[in-house]
Structure 1
């Protein structure tokens, strides 16, 4: 399986960023890491290996990006700075990673995927930019980081502003009414996957209900047990990517 390592200085983030590319052709997939994880963890956890057949046959090409979650959601900075750092990260993906992919790969389509917090990243960016992506897959994710849950805190310590609102799918999705945006969202292939014992199950059910409310087709798959571990993600990517 072809493997490439890339690193460049990101103007969006004012720091070096790294990524790994697996495969040489096929529909490109931007794969976001889990909380506190890095661009190499999906390879180490054998999640990439679980996609080997699809990569080798040229069905998909996988781009494992890094995150700055420790500088945004999980930093000690004031909450307004946390969400601003996240927005800068999103600019890095849209203005740097996506053009990089397009130079390497001329295949139509672009998939955003991830597990846990990576699933949040994939679904959030995909729903906000449905003309950039044609498919989004969120596995074991939560979609409102302001909602405290058992073992999971409000990542903004009670602070709330418009930047946060427009980056929490369970906040902004029910209010989408623009017909042009709705038409674009209707073209998206949206898949949400969650375990029945996962703390984020209600969050996924809420997002599913919100998408139904605004008339957006999607798939919600509820697995047995918690299903919030690499051994489950290895099976999920075989089915949903």
Structure 2
């Protein structure tokens, strides 16, 4: 009887540089060497290495090794923005600096190493918020958006989840909460760009963010944006569910 050969290791590269946008060092893990690039945001309070630790990268092993996808796991600054002790106006400004880091540093880094014309953006929980928010705000940069178990209005208090701006609201917050700015999109050129993106929202039936996802889906439908909303049984807000979701939707 022939013994099975061990699985082929996933190609893995660690990256670190000083970010001018954030004025601090930022780290990243890159898995694979070709295929459609996938920009993957971490969950709330998680780090760039947690997707690997939670076996979510392992769930994509075959596609990574077959050069179907190349996964770029970025770090976050959520503890310095949404979950910091700063004043609410400074929390959203720190988030905007993080967005500039993604736009002016991470995406050019991806483009330099991967010549694909496609770019997927995704994340789980708060990472799903990051993915959907930046994807809808900058639709010419992305060809696919996948938001898993995400919340799309951080200003709305929910059971076990606070308003992350303590009742404060300004224009910066408005334009970074999909459930606020999406219903108001009326520029036809912008709509045409968004309509070209493959958009998928995934949420558990018992997840606290179910209504948030249904609200965003309704808003997208109202402005004529094709998308898919998948509602899973149970809460589906754990790594064991995300390991299955990435197989189905990425």
Report the TM-score when normalising by structure 1.
1.00
Structure 2 gap segments, 5+ residues each: 1-9
Structure 2 CA distance, aligned partners of 1:68 and 1:52?
A: 27
Q: Which runs of 4+ in 1 moved over 2 A?
A: none
Structure 1 gap segments, 5+ residues each: none
Q: Residue in 2 aligned with 1:14? A: 23
Specify the structure having the higher radius of gyration (Cα).
Answer: 2
Aligned residue among 37, 59, 62 for 1:53: 62
Q: Residue in 1 aligned with 2:239? A: 230
Q: Residue in 1 aligned with 2:159? A: 150
Structure 2 CA distance, aligned partners of 1:138 and 1:46?
A: 18
Structure 1 CA distance, aligned partners of 2:62 and 2:162?
A: 38
Q: Residue in 1 aligned with 2:4? A: none
Q: Residue in 2 aligned with 1:115? A: 124
Structure 1 CA distance, aligned partners of 2:195 and 2:235?
A: 30
Report the TM-score when normalising by structure 2.
0.96
Q: Residue in 2 aligned with 1:106? A: 115
Quote how far apart the aligned CAs of 1:55 are: 0.5
Q: Residue in 1 aligned with 2:220? A: 211
Q: Residue in 2 aligned with 1:78? A: 87
**52-61 or 36-45, larger mean C-alpha shift:** 52-61
- 1:120-161 CA deviation, whole Å, 9 max, x = no partner? 000000000000011000000000000000000000000000
Structure 2 CA distance, aligned partners of 1:60 and 1:112?
A: 12
Structure 2 CA distance, aligned partners of 1:194 and 1:64?
A: 21
Q: Residue in 2 aligned with 1:141? A: 150
Matched positions, count:
241
Quote how far apart the aligned CAs of 1:107 are: 1.1
Aligned residue among 164, 181, 184 for 1:175: 184
